[in-house]
Amino acid sequence: MPAPADHAAPPSTARALLARSAPLAIVVAITALALAAYTALYIAVTALSLPCASFLTIFGGLIFGALTATVAALAGATTGATMIFLMAKSALGDCLARRAGPRVEKVAAGFRADAFNYLLFLRLVPFFPFWLVNLVPALCGVPLRTFVVASALGMIPGTFAYAFFGAGLDSAIKAQNATVELFAGLIVLGLLALVPVVVKRVKSGRRQSEMPGQT
């Protein structure tokens, strides 16, 4: 009776496979560490309200690509914003409110009327400073879940726009010339910049239509 065939790979083949997989494992580990460091940096920048989040998102798109940078930046921004929100709910809330001054009341009225949609709107169209939009919802008693979900959803378009632009820069650098990706990124950023202008005009038109006609 013939002996069963040994399907195990020869030692030389196994060593070759290990030698090939080792560099890939190193690359994966380094990429994971880099993403973790990038996300941690984004959390710190957001929590400290440093005015460089847009540049950091573009840098993320340049290094990691549009989708990966969007996810990492969104996670960092949401976490950092939530940290400010929770600090405002603590004993530090009164101190932070005093430092914010009269602008708190300007933002607070909308949260009292419809917290989720107003927060979603302010994330999409940043009429007020980012740190102020993180602070006021806590002072108005907005639930943590509402804050996190509305913030994350509202920040997706802007975060993706900057990360997409960064990815376009990467392709332009590699090609040593302007590329379709770069032009597309510029168009997306341009459209994003037009959103506040459009919203202001729509609001102005509504106010004028609500005014009684003059005779």
User: pLDDT tens-digit profile of 132-152?
Assistant: 889 889 888 899 999 999 999
Burial of 15 (0-12, 13-18, 19+ CB in 10 A): exposed
What pLDDT, on a 0 to 100 scale, did the predictor assign at position 78? 96
pTM score of the predicted model: 0.71
The gap between the terminal CA atoms of the chain, to the nearest Å, is 111
Please, what is the average pLDDT of the chain?
77
- pLDDT tens digits for range 157-187: 889 988 988 888 766 666 555 455 555 655 6
Q: Which residues of the chain have pLDDT under 50?
A: 18, 178, 214-215
pLDDT value for 83: 94
Position 181 scores a pLDDT of 57
pLDDT at 13: 61
Pairwise CA distance, residues 120 & 157, whole Å: 11
Q: What is the pLDDT of residue 19?
A: 54
Lookup: tokens for 169: 């820069």
Torsion from C-alpha of 35, 39, 45, 49, nearest 10 degrees: 150
| Dist. CA 21–CA 202, nearest whole Å | 57
